[in-house]
Amino acid sequence: MKVHNKLIAEFIGTFWLVLGGCGTAMIANTFGVENGVNIGLLGVSFAFGLTVLTMAYAVGPVSGGHFNPAVSIGLMVGGRFSAGQLVPYIIAQVLGAIAAAAVLALILQGNGSEIGTLASNGYGEASPGGYNLLAVVVTEIVMTAAFLFIILGATDERAGTAAGFAPIAIGLGLTLIHLISIPVSNTSVNPARSTGPALISMDSTALMQLPVFWIAPIVGAILGAVLYKLTLAGGKFDAEA
């Protein structure tokens, strides 16, 4: 597969992740709340998981289905991705996230609504639950590490996992991560997902805090990749490889 095909796939996949996840948070999260039928945290969590699951099936065979700079970096550390493609992948992912946030902003203005923060991530006053910087950093590192561990395990051919089921495990893993961490940081685990809404909303707090949502997920991704390699080191998979 040519590089430009992979980059288009990453752009589309990240676009869908941000539009589907942040769009659900902004449009559907409180819709119908007066009738007690809003989807709430559970619905938003599943929305993020479903975006990854559906796009992993749709374009995963083309690009690997990263849709996340931290995932690309973690897969590179884990020996599953070429360093030479890292920067183009990250650029495509960030552009996809920005485009999705722009489309979401346009939709939100369709009924006269303010675009708000477009579900940006944050700590302190910007945290949904008022969690401080330390809590957010720890959460983002641990959750991203777990996400990479799930991805590497679900896609490891040596584990004998049916390749067709990997996106389900990954999508459900991301759903669980959101169920845990939306109240803490509004859940990033994805620098591109954080960048698009912050840039398009031009929210000063989101922009100021944005570096945290690059550094923490990348650290977590590297940690997850290292832990997975250590888990397999000297084990039966290496012996059979």
pLDDT tens for each residue of 35-79: 666 789 999 999 999 999 999 999 999 999 999 999 999 999 999
Please calculate the CA angle 20-23-27 and round it to the nearest 5 degrees: 135
Q: Answer whether 63's CB lies under 8 Å from 88's CB.
A: no
- List the domains of the chain with CATH numbers: 3-234 (1.20.1080.10)
Which position has the token pair 């390699």? 229
Q: Quick one: which of 203, 227, 202, 198 has its CA closest to 214?
A: 198
Segment 199-237, tens digit of pLDDT: 999 999 999 999 999 999 999 999 999 999 999 865 554
Phi/psi at 124 (5° precision):
65, -130
Crossing angle of the two packed helices 212-232 and 191-201, in degrees rounded to 10: 170
Single pTM value for the model: 0.93
SS3 96: helix
**Helix extents (H) in the chain:** 3-23, 40-63, 69-77, 86-108, 133-154, 166-185, 191-201, 204-209, 212-232, 236-240
